[in-house]
Amino acid sequence: MAKKKTAKKTTKKKTAKKTTKKAVKKSSPPVTHSTSKPSKEKYKKPTQGIAIAALILNLLILPGLGTLIAGRNRTGAWQLVLFLVGIPLILIFVGIIMMLVAWIWGILTGVQLIRESEA
């Protein structure tokens, strides 16, 4: 009978070790807050053709469209949203300003893309 008692004790010890391991696995890592500013987005250098196409699209078709095609998604999306939100706001004059800002911003981005492609 003594053998049976020791066998039960060892199984209890094994299960106790398993539960502590599970508890350790479930705990999340400590949260650390960084005070450094995030770096600017890194973009691939556009080719000359894409840069020219982006400028033409931003200038003649739709501000932000060329920027999106050039791979600058965040900037292009903001230009596009600014322009599209400005369309219904034309009636209260704010829309004209928004559309002009988006259009000029798109042209400047297109010129910047051309400069980057030449460098």
pLDDT recorded at residue 39? 47
Where exactly are the structural domains of the chain? 48-118
pLDDT recorded at residue 119? 81
The SS3 of residue 37 is coil
CA angle 60, 90, 104 (to 5 degrees): 35
Residue 7 tokens, joined: 């066998």
How far apart are the C-alpha atoms of 27 and 61, rounded to whole Å?
53
Among residues 75, 78, 72, 77, the alpha carbon closest in space to that of 42 is found at 72
Residue 101 tokens, joined: 């800002």
Residue that is written with structure tokens 């020791």 in the block: 6
pLDDT recorded at residue 45? 87
pLDDT recorded at residue 42? 73
pLDDT recorded at residue 2? 55
Along the 119 residues of the chain, how does pLDDT read in single tens digits? 555 555 555 555 555 555 555 545 555 555 555 454 544 567 788 999 999 999 999 999 999 999 999 999 999 999 999 999 999 999 999 999 999 999 999 999 999 999 999 98
How far are the Cα atoms of 13, 14, 21, 45 from residue 9, in angstroms, in the given order? 6, 9, 19, 68
